């Protein structure tokens, strides 16, 4: 294996490198969340950091463990060693990825796409330094002290606020805008890719200097005291930002102390606190998490110190579900004879089948989980006879799969010169912003097509980003003709791939622009028929005014297989709730 890209050779990205070093100096800070687009040295810096850590007592380097996105709970936490149990009749536990990362770095790319319960397990282990494995009547506790580094691209969905809060530090990572820095970064990467070992040797002295500085800072860290005035200043800032709980106060103080140790100072000063505050507090702002922090100079003067503060509490790992009582043998299973790994055992880097989280006792409503079934049999003492093992009903396990996938809602809004355009736009804006506020937690996407002028406009491609939607909904033009057929054609192309999509169409149906030069209404119906099979659900809001109605919105609803509602019968809040509860797939 090639030497990792040296940490000291990472060009620019000063905030990223500093946050990683602070979390290395004091692992109780709770790890670092790296948030930014792809190709910004997040994983490169993470691998380089592991090479700076002290090695294990046996002389092996500190581990760098990368968590596969499709990993099951058994692989993360640990599982019964099925091969040993079945071949030797001695049940024992096999360590999971958390224990293997002990003394090193656990890196989770796209942490925002992990199932919530796995994120919870990672954060619990990072905070407690140990992991308890309970499987099929066996229990073991293993050390799991590691530096947790999670990376994510916000375009692919946000982390739930409760998980954001439990990451110690947070860094927004962006590619450098200066051309000279970009060129230098490319040159360094090309040099490393062409000759990794010589490139690593070229930076060996700088790497050793970093190791020595980290060792000196660790020795200095324990002697640095945090004054009551400084703690009060940290808490004052957290209170000013409206943060929940005390985790932000604690992390801010610890990070300031780590920075003072890193820079060789004998005391922790307000300057250290000001410089780490964006790392420690920026991601904890639950009210408006996307707003920037106040400038560091706005730290308030410390009032009288508080008399007491309650520590934040952690979360334990729930015990596994109890297995049903054993009973008579149900079937026998022939085991492989070719010396291959035990069923269900995966090579490093492989994930679980798509959507599978864990195994639970068989309820006859899922697919058989082979490896957990064998593990349950081995735990009660079953062994192999003539290449076969007898299974009992209580041994049987099935796959538990992921919950709902992210959904998409596409609003098609008639903003033409027909009456009520502003009312329709106001309703659409309320729905878009309401759904995106929920998608901060649910990871759903919202898009918007405007129907006005000679051609429809994709005003907002599918997104989860509230700020992008807010920008797209400012100064929306209205008036002109009604290219409804073109809007539905755009929608068909947009909904053809990706997660299931729901369409909300706000229109009076009075199409008067033909993309193909034919009859506008017939082309609209044709486009609707093309769109319908790609949808997970549809809703047509009839915006036709007056007592005399043509009824074209009703015809569109029939072709789309959509529910029909009158514009006056629903508001933005009601429509948002309806979409969350009825149209988005569970």
Give catalytic residues, as residue numbers: 247
Locate 189 and state its tokens.
Answer: 């990467």
From 226, 234, 87, 111, select the one nearest 170 (Cα to Cα): 111
Locate 558 and state its tokens.
Answer: 């029939």
Cα–Cα distance, 58 to 43 (Å, whole number):
27
Contact 236, 302 (CB under 8 A): yes
Report residue 498 CA to chain centroid gap. 18
Which residues are within 8 A (CB) of 520 and not within 5 positions of it... i.e. 6 or more apart? 484, 485, 511, 512, 513, 514
- 274-280 — which CB contacts under 8 Å span 24+ positions? 274/299, 276/22, 276/169, 276/252, 277/237, 277/252, 279/15, 279/18, 279/19, 279/22, 279/169, 279/170, 279/171, 279/255, 280/168, 280/169, 280/170, 280/248, 280/251, 280/252, 280/255
Cα–Cα distance, 63 to 58 (Å, whole number):
13
Cα–Cα distance, 420 to 435 (Å, whole number):
23
CB atoms within 10 A of CB 170: 21
Cα–Cα distance, 221 to 307 (Å, whole number):
26
Report residue 136 CA to chain centroid gap. 30
Judged on CB neighbours under 10 Å (0-12, 13-18, 19+), 427 is buried
Report residue 402 CA to chain centroid gap. 14
Cα–Cα distance, 542 to 565 (Å, whole number):
6
Which residue's structure tokens are 């660790």? 218
In degrees and rounded to multiples of 5, residue 226 shows phi and psi of: -105, 115
From 33, 34, 47, select the one nearest 105 (Cα to Cα): 47
Contact 358, 72 (CB under 8 A): yes
In degrees and rounded to multiples of 5, residue 483 shows phi and psi of: -85, 65
Cα–Cα distance, 497 to 534 (Å, whole number):
9
Cα–Cα distance, 447 to 497 (Å, whole number):
14
Contact 335, 373 (CB under 8 A): no
Cα–Cα distance, 340 to 330 (Å, whole number):
26
Please name every residue paired with 397 in a beta bridge, in sequence order, or none if there are none: 361
In degrees and rounded to multiples of 5, residue 136 shows phi and psi of: 50, 45
89: left (phi over 0), alpha (psi -120 to 50) or beta: left
């Amino acid at each position: 294996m090639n030497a990792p890209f040296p940490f000291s050779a990472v060009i620019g990205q000063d905030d990223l490198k500093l946050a990683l070093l602070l979390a290395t100096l004091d692992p109780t800070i709770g790890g670092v969340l790296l948030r930014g687009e792809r190709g910004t040295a997040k994983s490169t810096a993470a691998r380089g950091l592991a090479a700076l850590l002290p090695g294990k007592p046996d002389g092996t380097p500190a581990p760098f463990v990368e968590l596969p996105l499709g990993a099951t709970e058994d692989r993360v936490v640990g599982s019964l060693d099925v091969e040993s149990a079945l071949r030797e009749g001695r049940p024992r536990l096999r360590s999971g990825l958390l224990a293997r990362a002990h003394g090193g770095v656990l890196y989770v790319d796209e942490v925002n796409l992990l199932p919530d319960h796995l994120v919870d397990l990672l954060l619990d282990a990072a905070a407690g330094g140990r992991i308890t494995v309970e499987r099929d009547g066996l229990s073991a506790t293993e050390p799991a002290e590691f530096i947790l580094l999670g990376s994510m691209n916000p375009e692919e969905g946000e982390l739930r606020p409760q998980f954001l809060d439990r990451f110690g530090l947070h860094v927004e990572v962006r590619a450098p805008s200066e051309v000279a820095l970009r060129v230098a970064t490319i040159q360094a990467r090309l040099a490393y890719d062409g000759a990794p070992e010589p490139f690593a040797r070229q930076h060996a002295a700088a790497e050793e200097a970093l190791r020595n500085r980290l060792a000196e800072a660790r020795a200095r860290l324990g002697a640095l005291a945090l004054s009551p005035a400084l703690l009060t200043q940290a808490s004052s800032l957290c209170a000013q930002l409206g943060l929940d709980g005390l985790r932000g106060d604690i992390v801010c103080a610890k990070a300031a102390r780590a920075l003072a140790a890193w820079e060789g100072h004998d005391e922790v000063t307000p300057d250290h606190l000001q410089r780490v505050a964006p790392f420690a507090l920026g991601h904890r702002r639950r009210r408006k998490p996307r707003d920037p922090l106040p400038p560091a100079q706005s730290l308030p003067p410390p009032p009288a110190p508080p008399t007491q503060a309650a520590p934040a509490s952690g979360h334990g790992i729930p015990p596994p579900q109890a297995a049903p009582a054993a009973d008579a043998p149900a079937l026998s299973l022939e085991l492989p004879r070719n010396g291959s790994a035990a069923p269900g055992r995966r090579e490093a880097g492989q994930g679980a089948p798509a959507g599978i989280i864990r195994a639970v006792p068989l309820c006859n409503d899922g697919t058989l989980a082979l490896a957990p079934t064998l593990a349950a049999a081995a735990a009660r003492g079953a062994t192999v006879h003539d290449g076969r093992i007898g299974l009992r009903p209580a041994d049987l396990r099935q796959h538990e799969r992921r919950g709902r996938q992210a959904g998409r809602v596409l609003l098609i809004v008639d903003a033409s010169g027909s009456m009520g355009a502003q009312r329709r736009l106001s309703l659409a804006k309320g729905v878009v912003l309401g759904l995106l506020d929920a998608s901060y937690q649910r990871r759903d996407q919202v898009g918007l097509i405007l129907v006005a002028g000679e051609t429809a406009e994709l005003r907002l491609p599918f997104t989860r980003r509230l700020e992008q939607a807010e920008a797209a909904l400012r100064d929306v033009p209205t008036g002109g003709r009604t290219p409804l057929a073109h809007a539905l054609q755009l929608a068909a192309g947009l909904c053809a791939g990706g997660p299931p999509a729901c369409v909300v169409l706000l229109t009076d149906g009075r199409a008067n622009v033909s993309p193909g030069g034919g009859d506008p209404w017939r082309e609209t119906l044709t486009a609707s028929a093309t769109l319908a099979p790609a949808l997970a659900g549809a809703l047509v809001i009839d915006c036709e005014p007056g007592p005399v109605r043509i009824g074209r919105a009703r015809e569109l609803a029939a072709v789309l297989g959509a529910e029909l509602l009158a514009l006056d019968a629903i508001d933005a809040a009601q429509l948002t709730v309806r979409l969350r509860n009825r149209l988005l797939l569970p």
